[in-house]
Amino acid sequence: MQHKIKKVWGREILDSRGNPTIEVDLQIEEYFGDKMHQINGRASVPSGASTGTHEVCELRDEDKMRYGGKGVLKTVENINNEIAKKIEGEKWDQKTLDEALIKLDDTPNKSRLGANAILGVSLAFAKTSALAQKKPLWQYFQQISETPEIKMPIPMMNILNGGEHAKGSTDIQEFMIIPRGAKSFTEGLRWGSEIFQTLKKILNERGLSTTVGDEGGFAPKLGSNEGALELIMESIAKAGYKAGQDIFIALDVAATELYESPSQNALADQRKYNLKIEGKALTSDEMINLYESWIAKYPIISIEDGLAEDDWDNWQIMTTKLQGIQIVGDDLFVTNIERLQKGIEQKSANAILIKLNQIGTVSETIETIKMAKQAGFACIVSHRSGETEDTTIADFSVGLGTGQIKTGSLCRSERVAKYNQLLRIEEEI
């Protein structure tokens, strides 16, 4: 269904880390009966810290006198001028609008107008269109994607943070719990919250920090990465649940951040994964062996970015060796159809993390999910470490029937907002 855009305008707001990001308001004109009505929608754009180099371009001002160069006034100007002139006064549906925005930018990585500008407009149009059609947002996404079956996602809840999200904690970026044994999203969320609060008590008892990282997981200074797994196992048991039956564990290693050369003159094939907390530098084979040893001891069922974003050959080896484990490409695929196609052909993973701002429009994200599903890949809709109060990914996950969602820990309102929206959706459906 097409809708006439009357007005679009952007503004600079702050994300959950206190950095500038984009918010877009969009107004549609629609006749209901013989009367013209104006419908307003609003969307905001998240920002990542641990970002893949193959992601589309998040445009920043680079003016060191404002927000340390992270301002987005240029991006706002692009929305309020060039994009507004192109789309205002015309009728669009989601696909034609997104295609027009991509063509208007006319760069391979959306660097001229900024992927943050384009995504802000794309998301705002989706939300306004759903309002105009008097549909919940998840139903709008189901309709435009032609998804045959919606489903509530299983949450992957980040309860211990490290890496780029909580420096000084662990090398591994995220330790997550998955309440796969729960009968409903509501029950699974409660289980996760109880385990999170139990973990807090354990950390307090041991004199460890209960401050949290960017995504809300605790960030204690531990002597080893495996120490985090041991804490989680203890928390699961003390909360009254069974690891490997009720609750499972997932890791986001963010291995690209660990992939370093031993010296400036070292050859590319001499690069290793530097686990600074433990004083170790491991080869790709040694990293895979480490995961095998952990899988044998702990109920780990999913590993995201276990190797670096361009370590393609070893991704294939990892996927083959770690049979029965969900091997998730985030930095590897960056929600990009071309990189996903390569991964499918090479059997470099069996799952993909989906982030709308890695590719820049709703339509492109939907196409990536469709390709992944057709290839038998699992899909996980994900937040970013720099989030906003916008809850779109909750509806997107349900409407696209992805079955899994990552949206952080059980604290910080920008994370909990998505969980709360999923509670409302489950009640509705």
- Hey, which residues are catalytic here? 215, 355
Of 178, 401, 193, 213, whose CA–CA distance to 301 is shortest? 178
Phi, psi of 301 (to 5 degrees): -120, -5
Alpha-carbon span 22 to 71, nearest angstrom: 10
Cβ within 8 Å of residue 424, ≥6 positions away: none
Of 41, 32, 56, whose CA–CA distance to 126 is shortest? 41
Burial of 30 (C-beta count, 10 Å sphere; 0-12/13-18/19+): middle
Beta carbons of 103 and 23 less than 8 angstroms apart: no
Of 158, 187, 322, whose CA–CA distance to 249 is shortest? 158
The whole-angstrom distance between residue 153's C-alpha and the CA centroid of its chain comes to: 14
Beta carbons of 19 and 13 less than 8 angstroms apart: no
Beta carbons of 11 and 76 less than 8 angstroms apart: yes
| Helix 226-238 × helix 284-297 angle, to 10° | 20
Beta carbons of 251 and 172 less than 8 angstroms apart: yes
